[in-house]
Amino acid sequence: MTVRPVFGFATPVEPVAVGAVPQYLTTLWQRLTREQAATGPLTPARMLNLVLYGEDDAVPETAERLAASVAALHPGRLIAVQVDRGRGGTEMTAHVSVRCVPDPTGQRQVCSELVLLTVPAALRRYVPHALCALLLPDLPVALWWTGTPRVEDPLYQRLTADLASRVLLDSRAGDQPPATLRALARWCAERPTVALGDLAWARLHPWRQAIADCFDQVNSSPPPARIRRVELISDGVGVPADALLLLGWFASRLAWQVKGASQEPDAVRVDFLCDGRRVQARCGWVTDAQALPTLAAIRVEVALGSEAFGFEVHRGHDVNVVHTHVTPPGGPRSARTAGLPEPRDEALVARLLNASLPDPLYRAALDRAAQIAGALA
Amino acid sequence: MADQWGELERNPLREGLQQARTPDPNCFVIFGASGDLTRRKLMPALFRLYVQGLLPSRFSVVGVARRPLADDEFREQMRQAVATYGTLREEAAGRWERFAALLRYVASEFHDAAGYQRLGQVLAEEDEHRGTGGNRLFYLATPPDAFPVIALNLGQAGLARPASGSWTRIVVEKPFGRDLHSARELNDRLHAFFEEHQIFRIDHYLGKETVQNILVFRFGNAIFEPLWNRRYVDHVEITVAETVGVEGRGAYYDATGALRDMVQNHMMQLLALTAMEPPATFAADAVRDEKVKVLRSIRPFTPEQVRTDAVRARYVPGLVEGRLVPGYRQEEGVAPDSTTPTYVALRLMIDNWRWAGVPFYLRHGKRLPKRVTEIAMVYNRPPLRLFRERDDASDRVEPNTIILRIQPDEGISLKFAAKAPGPAMDLRSVTMDFLYSASFGISPPDAYERLLLDAMLGDHTLFTRSDEVEVAWSILQPILEEWDRSGEGMAIYEAGTWGPSAADDLIARDHRRWRQL
């Protein structure tokens, strides 16, 4: 193990036999408690079991960053499972350490445990067995499935059915966003009680906030029900999952029914009906950009009598902010800037872990996004 | 926009978002804009709200104070204030220039009617240029004697009444009066021009997350509330201990004293939240109704009880946090023969079904050894001393205690007995701790951020109502009168100690002692 810890205080990363991990941690805690004079007061806070699952070489680094992000907010035990599809053998290995971060007062350190479990390809299906022995009792279990969401994968199904009460994934990570969203929507429909956290949805929060704010900015703002046109623009080729989710959010909140969708060379068009009124949406993209397409801007046009009320929300050049421009009829144009969440996935995971119940808004948006994806198929 | 909750339903896109509602466009007017409160608290809080995107985009701040200043000079003073007392870190510094553009300044004496005309013109300009919609929030960050004259002039200038479809609110800082009579008079003067729903009386303790958590702890859990009554609770201690002295406010404090400065407002709020019945809903008036009810149940002090159940004291030189500090009478601005108390201890009884017979001990002092604010529910001992065969064992065990720590180390602790390892049945007190910082990993936001936002949103839940203020004063009025009438009974304590022996005697008469903090 060569990963460099990023903590205020960390024990060395030690290889430990998988079956000996619980006893090793117990002994380690006893030693740390005795040595508090040297390290300062330590608080072994335990609120959560967090399982990180991945199949690429980045898992150890991701686990380090994740531990740094969640250690203070959701202390507990982090078990990072790395399935090495290129590795043979019949034994799992574990590397264990305790990581402490100063609490906001700076007077004590809050400590979590990190277990990195390396799994040969042949033992992949036994991952749930190994986890059962490693989880802290009586604490909720959250699973972060990194990479492409594969809800049909038997391992995913076992982990989510038997172990995890919360599941985190990124619907943007797949190379076929419409197919991914449809599969996710089906999976959610069969599991109404599972709290699913979608990083793509979490990234949309500041966009949703900025859009909602636009309707409260002037004394006589038109209600969102009068939206007549929405245009979403993405960087990269194709319609990203987050754009579809945002459109699904509009549709679910404002009771728009999907009437049809069509594909163009640089966009898709979606027609909605709401109380007999037509609402048009266009999801376009610029073709010079990144590996993963992402939402870059949204323009909304709202009917206000014979006039139009328009606003635009777009990502800033430094990508960490969204800018909003509102142009109400007869009023001064106003601008506003708000922060976007940390771009790092680990920070989003830390935020999503706050939710322990299914998010009905997300599920409704996902359903509509899946309908749109179905209309495009 | 109308000042109504119904607005929330109008925007279905808001549901599920972190911020349930953005305040309406408004103009935030600060009277006392060059003062300490503005520099230390208000402007840093407003800037933080701005950086977090929690202010409306159509917003402006107008500072009003006596000193002649150009807008740019005012902006520079506020930038320095935010840099000193707030968060003007590098990433936020870029936002300062945009925020500063929202600031304007009006120089005026608070009694000068012409100044209010100028203010009215500036507000009209802001409405026109920034689209603030005729909504105004007047924040009185001034000495309390200016409250009535500002309210009067706002009223006479026509600034207290909102235009159709707009709102006007006034925020009043503590102290709200200096006794029952003056509090009633101030209420009357405010009500001459403002409706009660326009008035927001700030008690910044109510903006603290840990204070709000008292209600969550009690009414959001099933296991504590059944034990929250006279059947199980032996007594309650509420402590607000400060290490600081008068910190340059000698003249103000000397005219105020510990009872008015801390007990009438903050400590009465802590007591009310601790002892109140569950409200029917979490709506502002439902919560405030219950607080008023429990305050009305506090047994009135007779002159005799003032002598036995109220202690006042003044600190003399001593050692605090490793350094020698002067006595109260040697502080700048304090009269050398001052009789103002810097320490108060009270024994209160609540005559209602839940708390009959349970004393509430309150203590507050300056220049005490530690900065601690906490509420301790001390429980009855078990009915039978089962482990008496080791006589010293039970004595070593403290009664079960739930401690709600407001500051510092915000959190909750539960003390209970456990068997010490070994062959003997040896009992020890152990503590189960919940620490906000360990469990949530973030520092709670500043109380002023929450309160300023709530005032702009029109949410009264964390503000005190006129009857609440008056009933709190009515509890303390007999103490003030008896202490004014009788020059006796002022104790002294050395700075850096836990107060006078008279306070120990007060609780010792009930065969109890103050918790060791």
> Which residues 281-310 of A are in CB contact (within 8 Å) with B?
none
Q: Is B511 exposed, middle or buried (0-12, 13-18, 19+ CB in 10 A)?
A: exposed
pLDDT higher than threshold 80 for residue A332: no
Q: Which residue of A has its CA nearest to B52?
A: A338
Q: What is the DSSP string of B48-102?
A: HHHHTT-S-SSEEEEEEESS---HHHHHHHHHHHHHHHS---HHHHHHHHHHHTT
In sequence order, the 6+-apart residues with CB closer than 8 A to the CB of B386 are none
Q: Which of B51, B57, B409 has the highest number of chain A CBs within 10 A, making it the mutation to test binding with A?
A: B57
Closest C-alpha among A314, A78, A332 to residue A210: A314
Alpha carbon of B408: minimum distance to chain A alpha carbons (Å): 9
- Selecting from A104, A208, A328 the residue whose C-beta is nearest the C-beta of B437 gives A104
Beta-strand relationship, A76-84 and A257-264: unpaired
DSSP state of A366: H
User: Residues of B with CB below 8 A from A253's CB?
Assistant: 12-13, 15
Which residue matches tokens 């009586």?
A: A138
Here the tokens at position B127 are: 């409405």
Q: Which residue of B has its CA nearest to A255?
A: B12
A355 vs B: CB within 8 A: no
B370 vs A: CB within 8 A: no
Which has more pLDDT, A105 or A21?
A21
B513 vs A: CB within 8 A: no
Which has more pLDDT, B329 or A330?
B329
Beta-strand relationship, A93-102 and A109-120: antiparallel
Q: What is the pLDDT of residue B432?
A: 87
Could you check whether the bond before residue A332 is cis, i.e. omega within 30 degrees of 0?
Answer: no
> Which residues 151-210 of A are in CB contact (within 8 Å) with B?
205, 208-209
Q: What is the pLDDT of residue A333?
A: 65
User: Residues of A with CB below 8 A from B53's CB?
Assistant: 209, 336-339
Q: Which residue of B has its CA nearest to A354?
A: B440
CB contact under 8 A, A213 and B57: yes
- Selecting from B13, B56, B129 the residue whose C-beta is nearest the C-beta of A211 gives B13
Q: What is the DSSP string of A317-345?
A: TTSSEEEEEEE-TTS--EEEEEEPPPSSH
Which has more pLDDT, A23 or B167?
B167
Whether residue A53 contacts residue A144, with contact meaning beta carbons closer than 8 Å, is answered with: yes
**CA-to-CA distance for B231 and B72, rounded, in angstroms?**
63
**CA-to-CA distance for A297 and A323, rounded, in angstroms?**
9
Own/partner long-range contacts of A85-90 (Cβ < 8 Å, ≥24 apart): A85/A55, A85/A121, A86/A121, A87/A118, A87/A120, A87/A121, A88/A120, A88/A121, A88/A122, A89/A120, A89/A122, A90/A120, A90/A122, A90/A123
Which has more pLDDT, B247 or A331?
B247
Which has more pLDDT, A25 or A46?
A25
> Which residues 110-149 of B are in CB contact (within 8 Å) with A?
129-131, 133-134
User: Residues of B with CB below 8 A from A339's CB?
Assistant: 52-53
pLDDT higher than threshold 50 for residue A254: yes
**CA-to-CA distance for B286 and B272, rounded, in angstroms?**
13
CATH 3.30.360 intervals, chain A: 203-376
CB contact under 8 A, B56 and A216: yes
First to last CA, chain B: 50
Catalytic positions of B, written as ranges: 266
Alpha carbon of A126: minimum distance to chain B alpha carbons (Å): 32
B58 vs A: CB within 8 A: yes
Q: Which of A221, A227, A336 has the highest number of chain B CBs within 10 A, making it the mutation to test binding with B?
A: A336
Is residue B35 classed as helix, strand or coil in its secondary structure?
Answer: coil
**CA-to-CA distance for A5 and A63, rounded, in angstroms?**
10
pLDDT higher than threshold 70 for residue A343: no
Q: Taking the alpha carbons of A29, A33, A37, A39 in that order, is the dihedral positive or negative?
A: positive
**CA-to-CA distance for B158 and B265, rounded, in angstroms?**
31
Q: Taking the alpha carbons of B28, B34, B36, B40 in that order, is the dihedral positive or negative?
A: positive
Confidence of residue A2 (pLDDT cuts 50, 70, 90): very low
User: Residues of B with CB below 8 A from A337's CB?
Assistant: 53, 95, 98
Architecture (CATH level 2) of domain A203-376: 2-Layer Sandwich (3.30)
Summarize pLDDT for A209-249 with one digit per residue, the tens. 888 888 776 555 567 888 999 999 988 878 889 999 999 99
A72 vs B: CB within 8 A: yes
CA A86 remoteness from chain centre? 28
B25 vs A: CB within 8 A: yes
Whether residue A134 contacts residue A79, with contact meaning beta carbons closer than 8 Å, is answered with: yes
**CA-to-CA distance for B98 and B60, rounded, in angstroms?**
11
The interface pTM score, or ipTM, of the predicted complex is 0.72
Q: Is B386 exposed, middle or buried (0-12, 13-18, 19+ CB in 10 A)?
A: exposed
pLDDT higher than threshold 60 for residue A6: no
Residues of chain B with pLDDT under 50: 1-9, 393-394
- Selecting from A47, A205, A216 the residue whose C-beta is nearest the C-beta of B11 gives A216
> Which residues 215-234 of A are in CB contact (within 8 Å) with B?
215-219, 223-225
The C-alpha R_g of chain A, in whole angstroms, comes to 23
Q: What is the pLDDT of residue B8?
A: 36
User: Residues of A with CB below 8 A from B435's CB?
Assistant: 43, 45, 103, 108
User: Residues of A with CB below 8 A from B131's CB?
Assistant: 218, 328, 331-332, 334
B12 vs A: CB within 8 A: yes
CB contact under 8 A, A219 and B17: no
A324 vs B: CB within 8 A: yes
- Selecting from A75, A223, A225 the residue whose C-beta is nearest the C-beta of B438 gives A75
User: Residues of A with CB below 8 A from B13's CB?
Assistant: 208, 211-212, 215, 224, 249-250, 253-254
CB contact under 8 A, A212 and B17: yes
Average confidence score pLDDT of chain A: 84
CB contact under 8 A, A215 and B435: no
Q: What is the pLDDT of residue A194?
A: 84
CA B404 remoteness from chain centre? 16
Whether residue B296 contacts residue B471, with contact meaning beta carbons closer than 8 Å, is answered with: yes
Q: What is the pLDDT of residue A291?
A: 59
**CA-to-CA distance for B417 and B338, rounded, in angstroms?**
46
Q: What is the pLDDT of residue A5?
A: 41
| Residue % of chain A over a pLDDT of 90 | 38
B409 vs A: CB within 8 A: yes
| Residue % of chain A over a pLDDT of 70 | 87
Is residue B21 classed as helix, strand or coil in its secondary structure?
Answer: coil
Whether residue A359 contacts residue A195, with contact meaning beta carbons closer than 8 Å, is answered with: yes
Here the tokens at position B455 are: 């005032």
Q: What is the DSSP string of A113-124?
A: EEEEEEEEGGGG
The C-alpha R_g of chain B, in whole angstroms, comes to 25
Alpha carbon of A217: minimum distance to chain B alpha carbons (Å): 6
Closest C-alpha among B351, B85, B393, B345 to residue B241: B345
Q: Is B84 exposed, middle or buried (0-12, 13-18, 19+ CB in 10 A)?
A: exposed
Q: What is the pLDDT of residue A319?
A: 58
User: Residues of A with CB below 8 A from B165's CB?
Assistant: 219
CB contact under 8 A, B440 and A332: no
CB contact under 8 A, B57 and A324: yes
Alpha carbon of B98: minimum distance to chain A alpha carbons (Å): 10
User: Residues of A with CB below 8 A from B89's CB?
Assistant: none
Whether residue A45 contacts residue A112, with contact meaning beta carbons closer than 8 Å, is answered with: yes
Is residue A248 classed as helix, strand or coil in its secondary structure?
Answer: helix
- Selecting from B1, B52, B131 the residue whose C-beta is nearest the C-beta of A331 gives B131
Closest C-alpha among A110, A105, A72 to residue B405: A105
- Selecting from B16, B95, B441 the residue whose C-beta is nearest the C-beta of A72 gives B441
> Which residues 19-48 of A are in CB contact (within 8 Å) with B?
43, 45, 47
- Selecting from B95, B129, B443 the residue whose C-beta is nearest the C-beta of A332 gives B129
